Amino acid sequence: DGGITQSPKYLFRKEGQNVTLSCEQNLNHDAMYWYRQDPGQGLRLIYYSQIVNDFQKGDIAEGYSVSREKKESFPLTVTSAQKNPTAFYLCASSIQGPNNSPLHFGNGTRLTVT
**Which residues contribute to the site for another protein (CB under 8 A)?**
4, 6, 31, 33, 35, 40-45, 48, 50, 58, 88, 90, 92, 94, 96-97, 99-108, 110
CB of 78 to another protein, least distance (A): 18
C-beta closer to another protein: residue 44 or 71: 44
The nearest distance, CB 4 to another protein, in angstroms, is 8
Closer to another protein by Cβ: residue 20 or 107: 107
- Cβ proximity to another protein: between 33 and 64 the closer is 33
Q: How far is residue 107's CA from residue 24's CA, in Å, rounded to a whole number? A: 12
DSSP assignments along 56-102, one per residue:
EE-TT-TTEEE--SBTTB--EEE-TT-S---EEEEEEEE-SS-TT--
Do residues 88 and 5 touch, judged by C-beta distance below 8 A? no
